[in-house]
Structure 1
Amino acid sequence: MVVDDSVVVRGLLSRWIDENAEMAVVASHRNGRAAVEDVERANPDVVVLDVEMPEMDGLTALPLLLKKKRDLVVIMASTLTRRNAEVSLKALSLGAQDYVPKPESNSGITTSTDFRRDLLEKIRQLGGRRRRMHRGAPAGAGHAAQPAAAPTSRFARPGGAAPAAAHAAAAAPAVARSGGFATRPYSSVKPRILVVGSSTGGPQALTKLFGVIGRAIGDIPVLVTQHMPPTFTAILAEHLMKAAGRPAAEGKDGESVIAGRIYVAPGGKHMLLAKGDHGNIIRLNDGPAVNFCKPAVDPMFESVSRAYGSAVLSVVLTGMGSDGAKGAGVISSGGGSVIAQDEASSVVWGMPGATANSGVCSDVLPLDDIGPKIMRVLQGGR
C-alpha cells in the first residue's frame, strides 16, 4: 500500500513497485485516514507512509494502522527537513520498521536512482521477512544466503546479503561456538574504545543498547556509524545522549576523541579515527560510498583497529547488506573483540548475519544480552 498526498508520487512509486515481479501494489491512498479505513480489506504486507498529508498525517495514522494489523511493516517516507527527521525517528519508536529519505520535489523523486533503489530494497527485505515469519521460518532466514525461490507477495521477496568478510580467513582459528556459530576468544586486553555499526532497525536497537550501557562507558570513547542521511544523524545523536546520559553528537573533523563521549558518524560522511598530535582524533571522509553506504561501518572499524589494536570492542547490530563484516574481520585479525546481534532479535539479519557467518565473532547474542555483555567485558570479565 502506498500512502502519499501527491498523485504524482503515488503513481510513480506504484509503477516502480509493480515493475518488480515479486511485488504488487494492492492499494494507494492520498491520506492516512483513507489508509486506515482500507488496510484490513487490502491486507498489505508493507505500507509506504508519507509524513505530511491532509486530514490525517503519517504519525497519526501509524498507530491506527498497527492496531488493525499488528504485524504490518510500515516504512516512513519523508523529506530531509529537521521536523520530518524527528517525526520519522518518533515513528520508529511507535512501531514503524524503517524510513526512506524522500527528495523534496516531484522531479527529484523521478530522477533519484538512490531513492528508488533504497525504497525497493527495503520493501523487498522487510516484506520478505514478514512473509517468512508467517510461514514459520526464523526471523532472519534468507538474509545471509539467498533462498532458491519464494512466492510472489504483496510487496516482497527476501534478498541475499553479500558474502561474509574476506578477512575472516586471516583471523585466529575459531575455538568455540555461540548460538551455533564458530567464535573466537575475547581479547585479553581491556577495551579502550567501543565501536558500533548498524542500519535497518538500528535507531531502535541503539537507543535500547545505550539505555543499558550508558553508566558503563565513562572511561572509554564510543564511535557509532548508523546508515542515515544528513539531519537524521544529528537527531539520532540527541536521542542517544538522552538514552545514555552521556554527551553525544555528530563527529567533527579534527576533534579529539574523549572518554565518556559518543561520536555519531554524520550523514553523507565516513567517520574514521586517526592519530593526532595529542592523541586520537576524528577524521571525516567525503570519499565514495562503501558497500553502497555513506557513512559506512567498514572504514570506521578498520581505522579504529589501526589505532587501538587488541583494545577494540566492536558490535554489529541489525541492518541490510554486509557492511561491517569486513571491518569486523580486520578488528578480529588485530586481536580485538566482535559481538554480532542474533537473527531472532534483528529487524534485518544482513550485517550481523554476514559478520556471524564469517566466524570472527566472540559472541552472537540477542539484543537484550548485548548490553550486559558489553558491561562485563568493560569491567574485565567475559
Structure 2
Amino acid sequence: MQKVRVLIIDDSALVRKVLTTMLESDPAIEVVGTAPDPLIAREKIKLLNPDVLTLDVEMPRMDGLTFLENLMRLRPMPVVMVSTLTEKGADVTLRALELGAVDFFTKPNADLASTFMSCAPEICAKVRLAAGAKPRERADVRKLDVAPRLTADAVLPRTQAAGSRGGTRIIAIGASTGGTEAIRVVLEAMPPTAPPIVITQHIPAAFSGPFAARMDSCSAMRVCEARDGQPIQAGHAYIAPGNQHLLVMWDGARHVCRLHDGPPVNRHKPAVDVLFRSVAASVGAAAIGVVLTGMGDDGTRGLGELRDGGSPTLVQDEASSVVWGMPGAAWKAGAADEMLPLDAIAARLLALANSPVSSGAKRVGT
C-alpha cells in the first residue's frame, strides 16, 4: 500500500520532532518534511507534493487560519489541525473546520513529549483518514490495536419504543468527522419555529461549548450545550457535551435532556447510538433520525432502532460527505429510509416534521 505522505507545519521544534516520531510509527505514513511557518511550508508543498498537512494554529509570519484559507482557495488539500486544548484553541479550530480542514488533533498543554506519544494511534488514524477524505471515502487501512467496543447496552438497555408522547416531533442528529460543518448547514436552514433538535457530534469536552455557541450565532434556532434535566422545546437545538452521553427522557410531563457519564460506546463519548436509542424509547415514531458525515459506524444500530419504531430516518449522501463512513454504514445496513445531499436535508426534515406520524417511509436513494 502506498504510504500517506505528510508535511508537518509547526513553529515548535519539539512538536515537529514528536509529531514526526508519532506519525512514522505507523508503517502506512511517511513524513516527507517539516516547516516552522506557513511561508516555508508554501514552498515545501510545491517541492514535496504531500498528501496531507498537519497545521498548527498560532505561528510566526502567518497564522494557521490565514494560511488555511489561502490554501483552500488556491490548492485545496487535506489538512489536520493541531490545536491546544483550550477554549480559545477550540474556537479557532472550529473556524478551521469551517474553512475546510478535515479534522483536528488536540495538543496537550503539559508534559508534551510523553503525553503526545500516548496519542500516536489517534493522530495516525486521523492523518490516514484525511488522506482519503476527499473526494471519496478513504480506502481501508491497517487497523490498530484498540480497546474493545461497547454497544449502547452499556449505557441504556433497549426497551420497546414508546408511543408519540406529547405529540411533538423531535429530530435527532448524529455526526463525526466533517460534522461540525454539516450541522451548521442544517441549523442555518432551520426557522426559529423548527421542532427541537438533539445532536451528538463526536467532539472533545473543551470544544463542545464553543461549538454550541458558534452554532447559536449562525442559526435562527436557539442552540446550546445540553444540560442535565433541561426541558426540550421547539425552536431549540441541544448539543451533547464532550465526554458525556446525551439522552432524551420523558419525565411524565415533557421530554428532557439527560446527561450520562457511562463508558464510551463504539469507542465514543458522547455516542450517537446512545442518543438514538434513548430517542427511540422516549419519543417513538414521532422522532426523526439523521446520520451525517463521519468515520466509523456509530449511529447505525440506533438509527435502525428508530426505523424499527416507525421513525423516518435519513443519511447524508456520499458526494456531500467529508467521510461516508457513518452514513454509509447506516445506509448499507438498511437503517435509513432516505439518502440525501447535505443541502437538501434541512428542507426534508421540515417536511417530515409537518407530516403525520406513521409507521415508516419508503427507502429512497439519490
Tell me the TM-score normalized by structure 1.
0.81
- Which residue of the other structure, out of 224, 228, 232, is the alignment partner of 1:253? 228
Does the CA-based 8 Å contact 2:22-2:117 persist in structure 1?
no
Deviates more, 1:30-39 or 1:201-210: 30-39
2:361 matched to 1:364? no
1:166–1:227 CA distance, 2 compared to 1 (3 A) = closer
Does the CA-based 8 Å contact 2:138-2:323 persist in structure 1?
no
Structure 2: tracts of 5 or more residues without a match: 1-6, 154-163, 362-366
- Which residue of the other structure, out of 57, 62, 72, is the alignment partner of 1:51? 57
Deviation (angstroms), 1:158: 8.5
Match of 2:87 in 1: 82
% identical equivalent positions: 38
Deviation (angstroms), 1:111: 2.7
1:152-191, Cα deviation, whole Å (9 max, x unpaired): xxxxx5879xx9x999xxxxxxxxxxxxxxxxxxx9x986
1:240–1:99 CA distance, 2 compared to 1 (3 A) = same
Does the CA-based 8 Å contact 2:72-2:99 persist in structure 1?
no
Cα RMSD between the aligned structures?
2.7
Deviation (angstroms), 1:114: 6.6
Match of 1:100 in 2: 105
- Aligned AA (2:264): A
Structure 1: tracts of 5 or more residues without a match: 134-138, 147-156, 168-186
2:122 matched to 1:118? yes
Does the CA-based 8 Å contact 1:40-1:69 persist in structure 2?
no
1:225–1:166 CA distance, 2 compared to 1 (3 A) = closer
Relative CO higher for 1 or 2, CA cutoff 8 Å, sep ≥ 6? 1
Q: Secondary structure at the match of 2:234?
A: coil
Match of 1:150 in 2: none
Match of 2:43 in 1: 37
Q: Secondary structure at the match of 2:31?
A: coil
Does the CA-based 8 Å contact 1:320-1:349 persist in structure 2?
yes
Distance in structure 2 (CA, Å) of the matches to 1:122 and 1:192: 36
Distance in structure 2 (CA, Å) of the matches to 1:271 and 1:307: 13
Deviation (angstroms), 1:206: 0.7
1:216–1:278 CA distance, 2 compared to 1 (3 A) = closer
Does the CA-based 8 Å contact 2:79-2:130 persist in structure 1?
no
Deviation (angstroms), 1:113: 6.5
Does the CA-based 8 Å contact 1:190-1:380 persist in structure 2?
no
Does the CA-based 8 Å contact 2:132-2:138 persist in structure 1?
no
Deviation (angstroms), 1:242: 2.6
Distance in structure 1 (CA, Å) of the matches to 2:119 and 2:187: 30
Give the alignment of 1:1-382 within 5 angstroms.
Answer: 1-70=7-76, 72-105=77-110, 107-108=111-112, 110-112=114-116, 115-130=119-134, 133=135, 139-140=136-137, 142=139, 146=140, 192-215=169-192, 217=194, 220-380=195-355
Distance in structure 1 (CA, Å) of the matches to 2:351 and 2:183: 18
Distance in structure 2 (CA, Å) of the matches to 1:62 and 1:223: 31
Deviates more, 1:298-307 or 1:17-26: 17-26
Does the CA-based 8 Å contact 1:109-1:115 persist in structure 2?
no
Deviation (angstroms), 1:330: 1.2
Deviation (angstroms), 1:231: 2.8
Deviation (angstroms), 1:266: 0.6
Deviation (angstroms), 1:281: 1.6
1:2–1:325 CA distance, 2 compared to 1 (3 A) = same
